[in-house]
Amino acid sequence: MAGEDHVATAKAVYDMTAPAYVRFVGTEISAATEGPIDQSLLVAFVELIKRRSIERVADIGCGPGRAAAFMAARGLDVVGVDISQAMLSVARSAHPHIKFEEGQLDALPFETGVFGGAVCWYSIIYTPPGRLAEAFAELTRVLMPGGYLLLAFQAEDEPIHRANAHGTHLPLTSYRHSVQDIADRLEDLDFRIYTTVLRAPDLENETTFQGFVIASSPTS
Determine whether 189 is exposed, middle or buried from the number of CB atoms within 10 Å of its CB (0-12, 13-18, 19+).
middle
The share of the chain scoring above pLDDT 70, in percent, equals 98
Tell whether 128 is covered by a domain.
yes
pTM of the model: 0.94
Tell whether 147 is covered by a domain.
yes
Tell whether 81 is covered by a domain.
yes
106 pLDDT band, cuts 50/70/90, is: very high
Tell whether 215 is covered by a domain.
no
Q: CB–CB of 27/64 below 8 Å?
A: yes
- CATH, residue 123: 3.40.50.150
Task: Quote the pLDDT of residue 7.
Answer: 85
Q: CB–CB of 119/60 below 8 Å?
A: yes
Tell whether 214 is covered by a domain.
no
> Residue 163 above 70 pLDDT?
yes
Q: 78: domain range? A: 5-25+37-202
Tell whether 213 is covered by a domain.
no
Domain count across the chain: 1
Angle (CA) 91 95 96, round 5° = 105
**Per-position DSSP letters for 171-219, written without gaps between them:** -EEE--B-HHHHHHHHHHTTPEEEEEEEE---STT--SEEEEEEEE---
